Each structure stands twice: as structure tokens, then as C-alpha cells.
Amino acid sequence: MESSKIGKYEAEPAQEARLDAIFSALAHPVRRHLIDLLHQGDATVNELAAPFELGTPAISKHLTILEKAGLIKRTVKQQWRTCSLEPTGFVHLKDWTEHYANLWEGSLQRLDTLLEKLQATTPEKEPEND
């Protein structure tokens, strides 16, 4: 079976911990929405809090979780604290998902091959006349 050729995703313990933090951070819908907002460009906490019915402290807590997971970074410019996406965190996520995407691609290719064989061996039905 081809799926066994792909095997388990191998990662160092530190990478495993990072993936755990990433998946945990992305498990919450508010944090996923924050990622979507930051995908549009850098923003302050107040700008990020605007679309939510949550206070700024609650949004700050969500941002801290995203930051600890390595998905965003915060920079201070004068009196402004700006948040932006951190590409490195998404690289870890991409690597993990690509590993398992290969498993699915192999399975789908085998299914396509099987369907082609079945279609080639199945005689076509002639249309019935009423």
C-alpha cells in the first residue's frame, strides 16, 4: 500500500511542540479571524478588536497565544504596538500539511486509475426506446 511508503511525519521534539502550539492557537475561531485580518496587512490591537464584540484585553490574550505559537509578531513603533503575520510559523504548518497532502494525492491517483480501468471494461448500455 502506497500510504505506508509516506510514513509518519517525522519532527524533532521542539518542532512537535511548535506544531502543537500552532494547532492549538488555530483551534479558536477568534484567532483564525485575527489571522485573516492580519493577512490583509499589519494592524494595531485596537484595529484588530474593532470587528469583535470582545474588549481589547481579550483580543490581546488571543494575540499573545498566536504570538507564542509563532504565527504573529508584535513590533513597537513610537506609542503604537503593531501586529503582523510571522511567515516562519506558517512554514511549519505548510510542511506538515504537505506531508499528508502527498498521502491523499497518492490515494486519489490510485482511485483515478481504478475508475479508468472500470470504465474501460464496462460495456456501454444502449439507450432504451419507449
Q: What is the pLDDT of residues 66-83, one digit of tens each?
A: 999 999 999 998 888 899
Q: Is residue 20 part of a domain?
A: yes
**What whole-number distance in Å separates Cα of residue 91 and Cα of residue 101?**
15
Residue 57, domain extent: 12-121
Q: Is residue 6 part of a domain?
A: no
Mean pLDDT over 101-105 rounds to 70
Mean pLDDT over 101-117 rounds to 74
Q: Is residue 129 part of a domain?
A: no
**Is the pLDDT reported for residue 1 higher than 60?**
no
Q: Is residue 63 part of a domain?
A: yes
Q: Using only C-alpha atoms, what is the Rg of the chain?
A: 23
**Is the overall model pTM greater than 0.95, yes or no?**
no
Number of structural domains the chain divides into:
1
Does residue 81 or residue 124 have the better pLDDT?
81
Residue 41, pLDDT score: 94
Q: Is residue 19 part of a domain?
A: yes
The CATH number of residue 53's host domain is: 1.10.10.10
Q: Is residue 126 part of a domain?
A: no
Mean pLDDT over 99-125 rounds to 75
Is the Cβ–Cβ distance between 108 and 116 less than 8 Å? no
